[in-house]
Amino acid sequence: MTRRTSATKRISGAAYNSLRTALGLVFWYKSTLERYLRATLRDHPELLVGINFNSKKREIADDLVERLIKKENLYQQVTVQLMIELANMQRFPELEQHDDSAK
């Protein structure tokens, strides 16, 4: 039995799940999530074609992450950059506007 080896490391399932969760939680409004994704993925608009931005945020995140997983060989660098960008966020202005934002 021959094993396939790859010169490129693969992103772990846990990392994809964290991305999925972060995208659904970091943005309070779906419209902000959509604007963020359109700007961040502007060099790869095909990733957003057909995503229903009227659905729940976690469904939007699920759809996008599934696309990133299916074509990891093509979108790995984009995925890692998205993960880094989200991980580096220090402030969440939408959440800060709410009365109980300290919580």
Instruction: Report if residue 95 sits inside a domain.
Output: no
Q: Domain count of the chain?
A: 1
The pLDDT tens digits of the residues spanning 55-67 come to: 999 999 999 999 9
Q: What is the pLDDT of residue 103?
A: 62
pLDDT of residue 90: 77
Residue-wise burial string across 65-95, b where 16 or more C-beta atoms lie within 10 A, e elsewhere: bebbbeeeeebeebbeebbeebeeeeeeeee
DSSP per residue, 49-102: TT--TTS-HHHHHHHHHHHHHHTHHHHHHHHHHHHHHHHT----HHHHTSTTTT
- 70 within a domain of the structure (yes/no): yes
pTM of the model: 0.80
How far from 79 is each of 20, 41, 73, CA to CA, in Å? 11, 10, 10
- Cα four-point dihedral sign 31, 85, 24, 92: negative
pLDDT for residue 2: 44
Q: What is the pLDDT of residue 18?
A: 95
pLDDT in tens, the chain (103 residues): 444 444 568 999 999 999 999 998 888 889 999 999 999 999 999 999 999 999 999 999 999 999 999 999 999 999 999 999 998 887 666 655 656 656 6
Q: Could you tell me the residue range of the domain that residue 38 belongs to?
A: 13-89
- Is the residue at 7 inside a domain? no
* Average per-residue pLDDT for the chain: 86
